[in-house]
Amino acid sequence: MSNNNKSNEELPVKKLILLGVLGALSITQAVTAQEYTAGEKAREIAQQHLIIDTHIDVPYRLFRDWEDVTQATQRGDFDYVRAKQGGLNVPFMSIYIPANLEQTPGASYQLAHQLIDSMEALAWRAPDKFAMAYSVDDVLKHQEQGLISLALGMENGSPIEGDLANLQTFYDRGIRYITLAHSESNHIADSSYDIRRQWNGLSPFGKELVKEMNRLGVMIDISHVSDDAFWQAVETSAVPVIASHSSLRAFTPGFERNMSDDMIKKLAETGGVIMINFGSSFVTQQANRYGDIIRKQIAAINEQYGKGSDEAEQRIAAVRTKNPFPFASLEQVLDHIDYVKNLVGIDYIGIGSDYDGVGDSLPVGLKDVASYPNLVQGLLDRGYSEADIKKILNENLIRVWREVEAYAAQQ
Q: Is residue 261 part of a domain?
A: yes
Q: Which residue, of 275, 300, 325, is where some domain finishes? A: 325
Asked whether residue 264 falls in the same domain as residue 320, the answer is: no
User: Which helix (H) or strand (E) segment is 53 a member of?
Assistant: strand 52-56
What's the domain range around 401? Answer: 3-12+35-284+329-409
Q: Is residue 29 part of a domain?
A: no
Asked whether residue 180 falls in the same domain as residue 320, the answer is: no
Q: What is the pLDDT along the chain (411 residues), one digit of tens a residue?
A: 533 333 333 333 333 333 333 233 333 333 333 567 899 999 999 999 999 999 999 999 999 999 999 999 999 999 999 999 999 999 999 999 999 999 999 999 999 999 999 999 999 999 999 999 999 999 999 999 999 999 999 999 999 999 999 999 999 999 999 999 999 999 999 999 999 999 999 999 999 999 999 999 999 999 999 999 999 999 999 999 999 999 999 999 999 999 999 999 999 999 999 999 999 999 999 999 987 888 889 999 999 999 999 998 999 899 888 888 999 999 999 999 999 999 999 999 999 999 999 998 999 999 999 999 999 999 999 999 999 999 999 999 999 999 999 999 999
Cα–Cα distance for residue pair 50/390, rounded to 1 Å: 8
Cα–Cα distance for residue pair 376/88, rounded to 1 Å: 12
Candidates 64, 59, 71, 85; CA nearest to 150 is 59
User: For position 21, what pLDDT does the model report?
Assistant: 31
- CB distance 199 to 190 below 8 Å: yes
Candidates 45, 47, 40, 126; CA nearest to 88 is 47
Asked whether residue 299 falls in the same domain as residue 397, the answer is: no
Asked whether residue 186 falls in the same domain as residue 313, the answer is: no
Asked whether residue 189 falls in the same domain as residue 291, the answer is: no
Domain of 244, CATH number, reads: 3.20.20.140
Crossing angle for the helix pair 204-216 and 164-172, to the nearest 10 degrees: 30
Q: Which residue, of 325, 345, 375, is where some domain finishes? A: 325
Cα–Cα distance for residue pair 304/281, rounded to 1 Å: 30
- CB distance 40 to 25 below 8 Å: no
Q: Is residue 19 part of a domain?
A: no
Asked whether residue 274 falls in the same domain as residue 263, the answer is: yes
Cα–Cα distance for residue pair 154/159, rounded to 1 Å: 9
Q: Is residue 320 part of a domain?
A: yes
Residue 252 burial (CB count, 10 A): 23
Cα–Cα distance for residue pair 388/398, rounded to 1 Å: 14
Candidates 40, 52, 27, 14; CA nearest to 352 is 52
User: For position 290, what pLDDT does the model report?
Assistant: 87
Asked whether residue 98 falls in the same domain as residue 242, the answer is: yes
- CA-to-CA separations, 83 to 70, 72, 147, 276, 304, in angstroms, rounded: 10, 10, 11, 18, 48
Asked whether residue 210 falls in the same domain as residue 76, the answer is: yes
User: For position 323, what pLDDT does the model report?
Assistant: 86
User: For position 23, what pLDDT does the model report?
Assistant: 31
Measured at the alpha carbon of residue 329, what is the angle toward residues 325 and 330, in degrees to the nearest 5? 150
Rg (CA), the chain: 20
Asked whether residue 123 falls in the same domain as residue 162, the answer is: yes
User: For position 35, what pLDDT does the model report?
Assistant: 61
Q: Which residue, of 274, 306, 325, is where some domain finishes? A: 325
Residue 282 burial (CB count, 10 A): 31
Tally of domains in the chain: 2
Asked whether residue 263 falls in the same domain as residue 126, the answer is: yes
3-state secondary structure of 152: strand
User: For position 56, what pLDDT does the model report?
Assistant: 98
User: For position 319, what pLDDT does the model report?
Assistant: 87
User: For position 381, what pLDDT does the model report?
Assistant: 97
User: For position 29, what pLDDT does the model report?
Assistant: 33
Cα–Cα distance for residue pair 324/215, rounded to 1 Å: 48
- CB distance 49 to 393 below 8 Å: yes
User: For position 283, what pLDDT does the model report?
Assistant: 98
Residue 45 burial (CB count, 10 A): 23
Asked whether residue 185 falls in the same domain as residue 310, the answer is: no
Q: Is residue 23 part of a domain?
A: no
Q: Is residue 30 part of a domain?
A: no
Q: Is residue 159 part of a domain?
A: yes
User: For position 10, what pLDDT does the model report?
Assistant: 37
Q: Is residue 231 part of a domain?
A: yes
CA dihedral for 388, 393, 397, 401, sign (positive or negative) = negative
Asked whether residue 306 falls in the same domain as residue 405, the answer is: no
